Structure 1
Amino acid sequence: MASDSARVIGEIRRVFAERGDSAYGGEAVSQQEHALQAAHLARIAGADAGLTVAALLHDVGHLLHDLPDDAPDDGVDDRHERLAASWLARWFGAEVVEPVRLHVEAKRYLCAVDPSYERRLSEPSRLSLKLQGGPMTEAEVEAFQSSPHHAAALALRGWDDEAKDPHAVVEGLDAYIPLIEEANRSSCGDLRGER
């Protein structure tokens, strides 16, 4: 993991500059608008730096692959949560990486434990749910609940579901730079045993 927060900030800026304006699935917002709305919701909910950064970057995997925006319409699951978690693990620890890795599992979990949840999903989210494995089995529910990061993943899932408002006015990426730096420093300290 790089300890240089300037490097991760540069990479995040680059990815959003290159692909942030791409469509967010079939939703009425761009990838960057979705990310900023999710981070805004995390911040107003009082999330710490790590979870707010996870909210900001939870879908960065969509910006890292070369699949078309409408890949789910063709039956392709881009496994963006895994791609994002792997990419983020270069700079951040579990407090950022694990909620991102688990946010798709959180959707599957909620569909399994709350039948009304699936009905509240947007149509594009219902389509991706089918590609991602549908509602969890009982064994998968138990495994998800045993993760120390399941509560953070569920919180992130809620912000993810809400962050689709084409009329929302939220702060830009610069507002989150201090939190990205804090989460990066915290993760580097964890690796050195300083926390």
Structure 2
Amino acid sequence: MSLNNPAEIIAEIRLRFQEKGANMYAGEAISQTEHALQTAFAAEQAGESAELIVAALLHDIGHLLHKHDEDCATQGIDDLHERIGAQWLNRYFPKDVTEPIRLHVAAKRYRCATDAEYVSRLSPASVLSLQLQGGPFDSAEQMEFEHNPWSQEALRLRNWDEAAKVPDFETPELEYFLTYVQRVLQQQTPDPGE
């Protein structure tokens, strides 16, 4: 796959969703694809940039890339999906896409350390994964997160991520959101006529 061919990159993303997108999303009553679409739709409805909408769509692509079973958290395995996904996407996308993805688990850990009400709203699957991911941040980790230039975007992504678990919720299809992916990729890719 060419690192600067948007059509090939989009085809690869589409393939990942075709291969594993129907898998259930981490103990929730929706699929990986439904979760991704709901998250992207929430970002779009919030009026976010194309980059953050793409981050919302692809924030869990690491689940579609790793080799673990879909229920690996119940086996005590942290699949490190945020790192796997961000590393894979780093080849194609700007940091405005990849950093919120890389930080969306850190955002959950931060929120759990700073907002007791947030913890009470976590689904059982999110509580389990939180423990595997290191639990709530300590004060030093909180401060480090707060000073990260993408922390606010990661926190917004986290909000949409937590809310995007509604069975039978109507959203636009994957192809619709792939137009945002194309837009961001074309901003990154030099025009062949230049």
TM-score, normalisation: structure 1: 0.94
2: CA distance, partners of 1:186 / 1:98: 17
Q: Which residue of 1 aligns with 2:34?
A: 33
**Are residue 43 (structure 1) and residue 48 (structure 2) matched?**
no
2: CA distance, partners of 1:34 / 1:106: 18
Please give the per-residue CA displacement for 1:53-78, whole angstroms capped at 9, x wherever unaligned.
00000000001111111111111000
Q: Which residue of 2 aligns with 1:6?
A: 7
Find runs of 4+ consecutive structure 1 residues off by over 4 angstroms: none
Q: Which residue of 2 aligns with 1:181?
A: 182
Aligned length: 189
2: CA distance, partners of 1:167 / 1:16: 18
2: CA distance, partners of 1:188 / 1:131: 38
| CA drift at 1:183 | 1.3
Counterparts in 2 of 1:152-191, with a 5 A limit?
Answer: 152-188=153-189
Please give the per-residue CA displacement for 1:64-118, whole angstroms capped at 9, x wherever unaligned.
1111111111110000000000111111010000000000000000001111111
Q: Is the 8 A contact 2:5 2:189 kept in 1?
A: no
Any unmatched runs of 5+ in structure 1?
A: 190-195
SS in 2 for 1:21: coil
2: CA distance, partners of 1:129 / 1:187: 34
| CA drift at 1:185 | 2.4
Q: Is the 8 A contact 1:92 1:188 kept in 2?
A: no
**How well do the aligned residues superpose, as a CA RMSD in angstroms?**
1.1
Q: Which residue of 2 aligns with 1:77?
A: 78
| CA drift at 1:186 | 2.7
Q: Percent identity?
A: 48
AA in 1 matched with 2:97: V
Q: Which residue of 2 aligns with 1:117?
A: 118
| CA drift at 1:165 | 0.4
Q: Which residue of 2 aligns with 1:65?
A: 66
SS in 2 for 1:76: coil
AA in 2 matched with 1:23: M
Q: Is the 8 A contact 1:29 1:166 kept in 2?
A: yes
2: CA distance, partners of 1:113 / 1:150: 14
